[in-house]
Amino acid sequence: DLQRKDSYSGYKVYGESKLMNILFTYQLDRRLDDSEIMVNALHPGFVNSGFGMNNNIFVKGLLSIAQMFVRSTKKGAETSIYLASSPEVERVSGKYFFDGGPKKSSPSSYDIDTAIRLWDVSRELTELNSAV
């Protein structure tokens, strides 16, 4: 139920969307295996971006407390900048990065069958039919 027609939970959907980003990246890497294109996923950390502050007062209160532990937007951008510009990762593809280095993503992010299903459903929903 990718469209969440049956039920919706913002927190759950957010987590699922992050998993789908990783699954999609790993699948794209497999499909680009013989190309010069590099793709990676990353987690910027809990960044002071105002995320979630449009929620109800309870969530806003929790997030206000959590603000003590957030990263600056500059710190949150470091891994993205590293992946986009560092010669160290010029030929690195199909990895998950956090704090400037490759890390293991969740076990479910390595499920190839789920990644293929997500890829196919994404193509169907977007009506894209490409060779990749």
Q: Among all residues, which ones are annotated catalytic? A: 14
Distance of alpha carbon 16 from alpha carbon 97, whole angstroms: 18
Can you read off the two tokens belonging to residue 31?
């499909």
Side-chain half-sphere CA neighbours of 78 within 13 A = 12
Dihedral sign, Cα of residue 70, residue 75, residue 77, residue 83: negative
Relative to beta strand 101-103, strand 96-98 is antiparallel
Can you read off the two tokens belonging to residue 24?
């999609």
